[in-house]
Structure formats: structure tokens, C-alpha cells
């Protein structure tokens, strides 16, 4: 297996991505160490600010980059329309390349040997999804590797950023990214003409699955920042849920009954998926379909970080500008 060795710069520089600015990598704050950090796997004690940080979760890497953490390497995901040719998510790939972030291992195939070679003083891992580190946590900890485990599906990217900021000593970078996003969301919201009622977030045929977004989901929080009100799966349909993360998964046959809002946003949706949704005979009688009030959230909306949240704002604003 070929592994690209990371060489990163400590010089901070702004890098534009679409309409957003990401802070460059910066030094961790020097006070407050050692410190204890609460996370999904318990309490992690860090004796000093970590200097060699790797991410086993591509879904968390974007937030690390956004708050200025000098990431040594990250796991890559399977290449698709959502990624570049290395398996880096497109919304943050240019930032990662500019900072020299290496590939820890490809295709989300957990590789303990790659972790050993990287010799990190902090491993960032996910508690959920296909890149979850939980099945390998005991193995990593047995090697003395400090692992921080976060659930990105149950909270907004801002909360994730604050937790990552505390663990890495980049609290100031986290707050700067959060303020920047808030200002951009507020500016965009001021120019929108919102629909009169609430909206649904729908996962439509994503890998053969169907879901209704929860009101506390990261995607719903971005829409809320723009002034939208997201409604969840109706209470009387709770028994139809097959599994739940940041959305409640149901069968295709239950999808029409689960969509109660007159406006629909499609998770990981583009204009082609909107057309497919509108042409689905099972959904033909929905008010949103009849009115053509079905809109994409963008391909990168499937996993929300600072970068994809900004892309969501641009995608939504294009459909609702006054």
C-alpha cells in the first residue's frame, strides 16, 4: 500500500472556497494542559496540546481543517461524485491539498498499521457511519494511541467544532469559524423569500434508502439558520421507522405519508434528483410535488461541516432569493 507522507506548514494563511474563508493551520493554544475531554467513548486525558493529529473519519476532517487544526493525514473515502480522485470530499479537498494533508488509508478501510506508521499523538474518529472507529477502538488504545470519538450525526457541526477545538487547543479557531458561518447565514437569510409553512428534509433513494430528516439534524440546523422551520416524521408513523441517525429511515411505501410539509428539500440532492423525485408516481399527489416545491440541498449536504454548510447556503439561496 502506498502512503503519502505529510509535510504541513505552520504558517497561517486564508484560503477561499466558494464564498467562504477557511483559517489556515495555526498553533494550538498553550495554556490549560493537561486537560480532560469528554467524548463518546468516555473521558480522554491529554497531557499537552497534540501536534501530530490524524483523522480516521473523512466526515470530521472538514471541521478540523475549518478550525485551523494542522491535520497530518486523513482516511480517504470511496471515490465518487462527492470526492476528488483521492477520495477527499470535494468541499474541503482543495484546503487539504494546500496544507499537504496526506492519505492515512484509502476507501475507509481501517488500517491499524497506517496508524502506527503515522505515530499520532491524537486520533480523531467517528462514533457512527461507515467510518466509525468504534469496532477498532480497543485495538488502537491497546497500542497507546489517544483516540477522540465524536458523533457527527447527532449534533450540528458547530458543536463538533467546539469539541475538536478543546481537544486540539484550537478553541479560538472553532469560534472564528462559527462566527463566520453565522454571519454568512444571516446575510443570506436577509435576502430570502421563505415559503409560508414548514419544510421537510427527505433522503430519497440514497443507496436504496428513504428517510425524513430530524429537526435537530445538522442539515435542519443549517436551514434553521436561514429561517426555515423543519418538521420531522409525524408522531403516528414512529412505528414505521427501521433505523434512525440524523434522519428517520422508513420504507419507500411509507414515504408519501411521511412527507407532510408543502416544501421539500432533498438530502444529497441535485437538480437531476429533484426531477426524479417529481416524476415518482408514488409521490404524485403530494402538495410539494404538485406545486413544484421540491429543492436540492446539494450533493455535499449528506455530511455537514463548515464547508458543506456554506455550500448548502448557496444552493438554498439560489432557489429562494427575493
DSSP letter for each residue of 141-178:
HHTT--EEEE-TTSS-HHHHHHHHHHHHT-HHHHHHHH
Separation of CA 300 from chain center? 8
pLDDT at 212 over 90: yes
Q: Is residue 25 in a domain? A: no
Q: In this predicted model, what pLDDT tens digit does every residue of 54-99 receive, in sequence order?
A: 999 999 999 999 999 999 999 999 999 999 999 999 999 999 999 9
Cell 414512529, residue located: 238
Are 170 and 61 contained in the same domain? yes
Q: In this predicted model, what pLDDT tens digit does every residue of 220-277 receive, in sequence order?
A: 999 999 999 999 999 999 999 999 988 999 999 999 999 999 999 999 999 999 999 9
Are 46 and 170 contained in the same domain? yes
**Alpha helices, DSSP H, located in the chain:** 58-66, 90-98, 112-118, 137-142, 157-168, 171-189, 218-225, 255-258, 271-278, 287-290, 306-320
Count of structural domains within the chain? 2
Decide if 270 contacts 238 (C-beta within 8 A): no
pLDDT of amino acid 25: 63
Are 72 and 180 contained in the same domain? yes
Here the CATH number for the domain that contains residue 95 is: 3.40.50.1980
Are 166 and 44 contained in the same domain? yes
pLDDT band at 322 (very low <50, low <70, confident <90, very high): confident
Q: Is residue 24 in a domain? A: no
Are 158 and 219 contained in the same domain? no
pLDDT band at 116 (very low <50, low <70, confident <90, very high): very high
pLDDT of amino acid 30: 57
Are 199 and 246 contained in the same domain? yes
Q: Is residue 286 in a domain? A: yes
Write down which residue in 184, 207, 233 finishes a domain: 184
pLDDT at 12 over 60: no
**Alpha helices, DSSP H, located in 194-246:** 218-225
Are 262 and 122 contained in the same domain? no
Are 269 and 308 contained in the same domain? yes
Decide if 122 contacts 97 (C-beta within 8 A): no
Q: Is residue 16 in a domain? A: no
pTM: 0.88
Query: Range of 208's domain?
Result: 194-319
Phi-psi group of 172: left, alpha or beta (phi > 0 → left; psi -120 to 50 → alpha; rest → beta) = alpha
Decide if 249 contacts 211 (C-beta within 8 A): yes
Q: Is residue 240 in a domain? A: yes
Are 168 and 43 contained in the same domain? yes
Q: Which helix (H) or strand (E) holds 16?
A: strand 15-17
How many helices, marked H, and strands, marked E, lie in the chain?
A: 11, 15
Amino acid at each position: 500500500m502506498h502512503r503519502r507522507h505529510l509535510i504541513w506548514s505552520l504558517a497561517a494563511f486564508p484560503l477561499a472556497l466558494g464564498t467562504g474563508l477557511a483559517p489556515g493551520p495555526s498553533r494550538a493554544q498553550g495554556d490549560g494542559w493537561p486537560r480532560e475531554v469528554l467524548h463518546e467513548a468516555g473521558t480522554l486525558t491529554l497531557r499537552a496540546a497534540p501536534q501530530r493529529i490524524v483523522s480516521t473519519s473523512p466526515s470530521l476532517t472538514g471541521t478540523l481543517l475549518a478550525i485551523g487544526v494542522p491535520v497530518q493525514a486523513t482516511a480517504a473515502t470511496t471515490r465518487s461524485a462527492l470526492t476528488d480522485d483521492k477520495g477527499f470530499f470535494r468541499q474541503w479537498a482543495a484546503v487539504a491539498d494546500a496544507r499537504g494533508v496526506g492519505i492515512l488509508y484509502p476507501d475507509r478501510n481501517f488500517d491499524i498499521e497506517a496508524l502506527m506508521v503515522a505515530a499520532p499523538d491524537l486520533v480523531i474518529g467517528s462514533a457512527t457511519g461507515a467510518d466509525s472507529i468504534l469496532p477498532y477502538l480497543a485495538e488502537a488504545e491497546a497500542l497507546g494511541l489517544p483516540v477522540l470519538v465524536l458523533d457527527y450525526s447527532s449534533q450540528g457541526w458547530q458543536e463538533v467544532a467546539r469539541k475538536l477545538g478543546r481537544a486540539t487547543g484550537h478553541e479560538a479557531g472553532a469560534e472564528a469559524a462559527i462566527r463566520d458561518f453565522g454571519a454568512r447565514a444571516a446575510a443570506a437569510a436577509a435576502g430570502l423569500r421563505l415559503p409560508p409553512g414548514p419544510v421537510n428534509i427527505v433522503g430519497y433513494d440514497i443507496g436504496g434508502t428513504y428517510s425524513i430528516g430530524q429537526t435537530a439534524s445538522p442539515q435542519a440546523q443549517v436551514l434553521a439558520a436561514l429561517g426555515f422551520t423543519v418538521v420531522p416524521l409525524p408522531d403516528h408513523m414512529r412505528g414505521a421507522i427501521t433505523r434512525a441517525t440524523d434522519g428517520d429511515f422508513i420504507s419507500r411505501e411509507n414515504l408519501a405519508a411521511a412527507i407532510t410539509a408543502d416544501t421539500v428539500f432533498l438530502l444529497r440532492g441535485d437538480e437531476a434528483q429533484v426531477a426524479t423525485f417529481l416524476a415518482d408516481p408514488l409521490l404524485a399527489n403530494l402538495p410539494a410535488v404538485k406545486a413544484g416545491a421540491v429543492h436540492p440541498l446539494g450533493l455535499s449536504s449528506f455530511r455537514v461541516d463548515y464547508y458543506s454548510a456554506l455550500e448548502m447556503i448557496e444552493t438554498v439561496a439560489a432557489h429562494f432569493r427575493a
